[in-house]
Amino acid sequence: MADSTPKLYEGMFLMTQASVTAGIESALDIVRGMLERADAEIIHLYRWEERKLAYPIAGQKRGTFLLTHFNAPPQAIAAVERECNLSEDVLRVMMTRADYMGDVEMEQAKKRSEGLPVEEAADAETPAPATAPADA
């Protein structure tokens, strides 16, 4: 029997420019709807960036990336990917397990989704640079 315990996933959705022209909220609602239909619990969903694509995809030269973190049962991922492949609004999708994310990474993702500046965590073992004593 398959394990239906929800796991943490990270999803990157490449949206068409047409889906974003009405506003970023419309594109976020498209992705939010797909994930909610798959019984996913969305933790973060935000616009990552818009950029020129390296090569045209379905005739599109630009796209907007949306990044999300969510909890979902593993069997729901196939349903979301299938819905993305059938959608005219989503050019590409990539979903991976986000087991690597700890509390610090989740806090940084939360700050990014809220548009706050993110301070990268410095290694605790790396000593601060020594300052030279002032000459008297």
Domain boundaries, the chain: 12-113
Residue that wins the pLDDT comparison between 129 and 77: 77
Dihedral over alpha carbons 71, 2, 31, 91 (to 10 degrees) = 130
Average pLDDT over residues 17-34: 92
- Give the tens place of pLDDT for each residue, 49-101: 999 999 999 999 999 999 999 999 999 999 999 999 999 999 999 999 988 87
Q: What is the mean pLDDT of the chain?
A: 84
Residue type, 32: R
Q: Is residue 83 helix, strand or coil?
A: helix
Average pLDDT over residues 8-23: 92
Kindly state the tokens that stand for 112: 């990014």
Long-range contacts of 79-83 (CB under 8 A, 24+ apart): 79/37, 79/38, 80/11, 80/34, 80/35, 80/38, 80/40, 83/34, 83/37, 83/38
According to CATH, the superfamily of the domain at 12-113 is Ribosomal protein S6/Translation elongation factor EF1B (3.30.70.60)
Give the whole-angstrom CA distance, residue 112 versus residue 118: 7
pLDDT at residue 132 is higher than 70: no
The reported pLDDT for the residue numbered 108 is 77
Residue type, 115: G
Residue that wins the pLDDT comparison between 117 and 72: 72
Q: Going by C-beta distance under 8 Å and a sequence separation of 6 or more, which residues neighbour residue 85?
A: 93
